[in-house]
Amino acid sequence: MSPPPPLPLPPLRFRPIFKEKVWGGRKLKRFLEKNIPDARRVGESWELSDHPSAESVVLGGPFDGATLGQIVRQRRDDLLGRSGARAFPDRFPLLFKFVDASDVLSVQVHPTRAYAERHDLAEREKSEAWFVVQADPGARVYRGWAPGTTEPAARRALAEGKIEPLLHSFPVKAGDVIALPAGTVHAIGAGVLLAEIQQTSDATFRLYDWNRPDLDGRMRPLHVEEALAVADFTPSPDTVTPAPLPGFSYDRQRLLAAPEFTVESLRFTGLIYEPPPPGDREEFAILVALSGSGSLLWKCEGERQTEFRPGDVLLLPAILREFNLFAEEEARVLKITPPRLLVATAASDPIGGGGAVEPGGG
């Protein structure tokens, strides 16, 4: 007797992983309906992660209790598509989280691929992008250096404890998109709630921490030499200008097309159809519900339905190809996909090697 066929791989929802931070707050509950523990300063909610320090676990459905890593290993073609499975045989390449900064985060920078390979780091390169979900009046972020800043000037300012004037900062509002390629010095200012998409890496070089102790009362280690060695001092735009996508009956914009991921915004009411990728391309998609409630409609031995509400994150396997979304009242959903360049050039394992690096941002 032949074994039964494998279970169809449906859209996947995961249990959030809450991370308490000295700079965390309560906005994850207020704006995204996250059931965070009382009296805890939760700074991050990891919604989709195949990082070994915090592996996402499926919530509900036939794969309830399985880790994302188990699904990657057992159903990689169905989840990632054939080209994605070849490029990423060991780990899911992207990590998604929500970040609530009630106080400013540390000033930090993430390593580039060249730096990580040259120094054989335990973690690989990390590029990321932010989508501002909510910002208090006057809230700011730090991105890059003030014009004319050089490495010697930054080094002197750090020695004197006067680095902030050399950091470029600007106010943000809901809907802003900020690209942070590896090597970009950055920090989230107080009063900002954002969605973050990044490569699967937790490598952080902490440049400055505002002379603030951590939750345990101790000062966190800094990595000044490593941070300055990888930091890019070239000026670049503050935010990304969205590009409207024609041919749709609803508001659809490309927010970011980076070498590591593409982010689109879908704002719609009623039923919309999401066509399959062009040609024979297969790709997974991450859907992030930011506002409005509705349903994801997909086919598997008949039509199936998965509900979503603000704060929900769904991973759609490549095997699904096409789906519908429905909302009675206006909803806004982010769609995150891997561009061709990611699949074509990715290393076989985005995490690996030896050496030491400070894990955990903030």
- 124 catalytic? Reply is no
Token pair 């074994």 is at which residue? Answer: 3
**Long-range CB pairs of 23-26, under 8 A, 24+ apart, other chains included:** 23/101, 23/102, 23/103, 23/104, 23/105, 23/190, 23/362, 24/100, 24/101, 24/102, 25/100, 25/101, 25/102, 26/100, 26/102
Contact 166, 191 (CB under 8 A): no
Q: Which of 206, 212, 220, 321 is catalytic?
A: 206
How far apart are the C-alpha atoms of 110 and 182, rounded to whole Å? 5
How far apart are the C-alpha atoms of 177 and 256, rounded to whole Å? 8
Largest CA distance in the chain: 75
Contact 185, 207 (CB under 8 A): yes
Q: CA 162, 168, 173, 174 torsion: positive or negative?
A: negative
Phi, psi of 76 (to 5 degrees): -60, -40
Q: Which neighbouring-strand residues pair with 72?
A: none
How far apart are the C-alpha atoms of 154 and 163, rounded to whole Å? 7
Active-site amino acid positions: 206
